[in-house]
Amino acid sequence: MRDSSIIKGLYAITPDMMDLETLLEKTQLAIEGGASMLQYRSKIQDRDVKMQQCEAILLLCREYGIPCIVNDDVDMCRVLSADGVHLGAKDDKIDEVRHILGENAIIGSSCYNQLERAKLAHSLGANYIALGTIFPTPTKPYAPIASLAFLRQVKAEVKLPIVAIGGLNLNNAQEVIETGIDAIAVITSLFDAKSIKETAETFTHMFH
């Protein structure tokens, strides 16, 4: 199975964007600023557009030597030979996805604020778990809140890398990192930043 130690630092998640050239430019800046993983996430309905975008981003990640994860779409991950997939509450089960994608695939699981779900993800062979939303976020305005105390509890009880997600920005990420989590997933405050590269660098330096 893929070494889970690669899940650390800044985990960049792409924003919804139709223009591929702009999306690639922004993604490259995030990677150059220190993003250690990239997740292609898009709610665009046109599958051909999504496939084209994901393939281009995967090639960019290959160029920089970082993993590229596909949000939700196991088939897209398989067809494009991406590094792995991130699964939400309504997605396929981890063990079934492992069978489809193989032992080397990185499989992440959204566990929200649910300790038992985190433990189950561990038992089924996930490579990492995502907890949150940590703070209110426009991306998922009705998501349940995961407290800093909850992050510490899961870190103590579940031996998997933890990615904190939801509403993280330069003003609040440090206190989240100090709970001992392994990575922070960021969309809006990274890709909407005036300087994406400098923002990525600042997030990355918080782990050192």
C-alpha distances (whole Å) from 176 to each of 137, 149, 160, 164, 196 are 15, 10, 17, 8, 21
Kindly tell me the sign of the dihedral angle through the C-alpha atoms of 116, 143, 162, 207: negative
Active-site annotation holds for 140: yes
Q: 12 - beta bridge partners?
A: 38, 186
Pull the structure tokens for residue 40: 């292609």
Kindly name the residue from 26, 98, 109, 110 that is annotated as catalytic: 110
With a CB cutoff of 8 Å and minimum separation 6, the contacts of 167 are: 132, 133, 134, 135, 136, 137
> Of residues 140, 152, 155, 189, which has the active-site annotation?
140
The active-site residue, picked from 41, 50, 98, 197, is: 41
Nearest 5°: phi and psi at 165?
Answer: -145, 145
Active site residues: 41, 110, 140
